[in-house]
Each structure stands twice: as structure tokens, then as C-alpha cells.
């Protein structure tokens, strides 16, 4: 076999592999879309009020349920091994349920939230590798909105008032809920597998520090506020996402 033929075969092989070279490099922009689940590892303290005899209701706690939405992530490659990542999504909608002595009460409220998360990412593999694992650390801002309570919560608060304060049934006419926005730390681990030079598969996991102060307004039939219940809620979710990636 001649040297010229060998070189031509090698050149052809290199050209055939060229589309997979330089999987990620400085200046690349990677967009990802997929199914994202926010799975809270939630807990709260006991409910507090400003009513004499009900300053604390021991064991009256809440927990936050999981939800799945469309997840979107973006990475701008600052270099061949470093990138700036952003986690976004369509709004998550979480049910808030009773916990502790309220464990059998069911759904007490709900809220929507958006969790934009900015991370500094490290890609350890060479830029030519089809496998691109990465780790990241950064900060999260969680915006809560459209908070709602249920009639179950109103009835539960009314029953507690009757049992502890001796108020007549129906004293509590309605309730409402507000949640403070949250700033916290975030960490992530992910993997892109490039199917072509531009298209790949992605899987990623985040842990996010989300803490919020919950205020539960309690109102009488005439509209006057009876009290404001307060809870410190640690949501601290794991976020799981699988989807596809595209390199621009």
C-alpha cells in the first residue's frame, strides 16, 4: 500500500471526524430545553400568631409538593473549559399541604414561582470530547406569585380558634397568603452528549437553597383582620432535568 494512499485514507478519516471536533470552545452558546422537576426537601417551623394563647401552635407545619414544567438552560462559554450558565423555566405551580399535626388536612394553599439561577460552570473534558460533563455553583433568585389559600385552610384555622380560644364557629371567614422572594446559593452537575456538531442530549441536577417567610392573613366576615399567622419555610429543592441541547 503506497504512502500516498495511506495519507489519503487518513485525510479522509480526519475530514469525516471533523464535524465532531471542538465540541465546546470559547464563544459558543448552548441552549437546552427539556422536562424539569422541582422536588422540594421542605420543612417549616410551627405556626405563630399574635393572638394571646396562640403565640405558637406546636406541630402546625406545612410542606411543599413537587411540580414538573418546561425547563430551559443556557450556557455561554467563556473559554474551552469555563462557562456562565442560566437556569430558567415556565412557572412552577406548587401545592402547599399540611404537615405535623396538620398532616391530614390536605391542601392548604398553592403558589407559582420562577427560579432564575446563575452559575459559573466548569467543563473538565477536552473541547473535542462528545461527552461534556460539567459542574457549577452560583446564586438563585426565586420569585413567588399568585399565592392562594384553600377553604380547607380557612376551616382549619376556624376550628383551631374554636378549640383554643372558644370563638364561635364561622368567626374566621377567609384567609390569604403571601410568600417573600428568596435569594440563595445553588450547585449543579450536568452532562451533555453531542450527537452531532450542534445537537446533543442533556441531563442535569441542581440543589437550590430557597427559604421564604410565609404570612397567612386571617379575616372576619366584616373584612377586619383577626391575625397574621407566620411560618418560616425551607423549600431547598432538588431540580432534575433531561432534554436536548443545541450549540450555536
| Structure confidence by residue, pLDDT tens digits, 139-174 | 999 999 999 999 999 999 999 888 888 889 999 999
Domain ranges of the chain: 22-247
The 10s digit of each residue's pLDDT in 73-82 is 999 999 999 9
Report how far apart, in Å, the C-alpha atoms of 206 and of each of 36, 128, 213, 245 are: 10, 26, 22, 17
Q: 103 Cβ partners below 8 Å, 6+ apart?
A: none
Identify the pLDDT of residue 4.
45
Q: What is the number of helices (H) and of strands (E) in the chain?
A: 2, 17
CATH topology of domain 22-247: Porin (2.40.160)
Q: How far apart are CA 23 and CA 181, in angstroms?
A: 38
103's grid cell: 398532616
Q: Residue 14: what pLDDT?
A: 35
- Residue ranges of the chain with per-residue pLDDT less than 70: 1-22
The single residue listed with the C-alpha cell 467543563 is: 123
Q: What pLDDT shows up at residue 127?
A: 86
Q: Retrieve residue 47's grid coordinates.
A: 405556626
Amino acid at each position: 500500500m503506497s504512502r500516498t494512499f495511506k495519507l489519503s485514507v487518513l485525510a479522509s478519516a480526519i475530514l469525516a471526524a471533523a464535524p465532531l471536533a471542538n465540541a465546546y470552545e470559547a464563544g459558543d452558546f448552548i441552549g437546552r430545553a427539556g422536562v424539569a422537576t422541582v422536588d422540594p426537601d421542605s420543612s417549616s417551623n410551627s405556626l405563630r400568631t399574635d393572638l394571646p394563647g396562640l403565640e405558637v401552635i406546636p406541630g402546625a407545619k406545612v410542606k411543599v409538593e413537587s411540580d414538573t414544567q418546561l425547563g430551559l438552560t443556557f450556557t455561554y462559554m467563556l473559554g474551552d473549559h469555563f462557562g456562565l450558565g442560566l437556569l430558567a423555566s415556565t412557572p412552577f405551580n406548587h401545592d402547599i399541604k399540611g404537615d405535623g399535626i396538620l398532616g391530614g388536612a390536605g391542601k392548604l394553599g398553592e403558589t407559582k414561582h420562577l427560579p432564575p439561577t446563575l452559575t459559573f460552570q466548569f467543563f473538565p473534558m477536552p473541547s473535542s470530547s462528545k461527552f461534556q460533563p460539567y459542574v457549577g455553583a452560583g446564586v438563585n433568585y426565586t420569585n413567588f406569585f399568585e399565592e392562594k389559600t384553600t377553604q380547607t385552610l380557612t376551616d382549619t384555622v376556624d376550628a383551631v380558634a374554636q378549640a383554643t380560644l372558644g370563638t364561635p364557629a364561622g368567626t374566621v371567614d377567609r384567609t390569604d397568603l403571601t410568600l417573600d422572594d428568596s435569594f440563595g446559593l445553588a450547585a449543579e452537575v450536568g452532562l451533555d452528549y453531542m450527537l452531532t456538531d450542534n445537537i446533543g442530549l442533556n441531563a442535569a441536577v441542581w440543589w437550590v437553597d430557597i427559604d421564604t417567610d410565609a404570612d397567612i392573613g386571617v379575616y372576619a366576615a366584616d373584612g377586619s383582620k383577626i391575625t397574621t399567622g407566620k411560618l418560616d419555610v425551607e423549600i431547598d429543592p432538588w431540580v432534575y432535568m433531561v432534554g436536548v441541547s443545541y450549540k450555536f
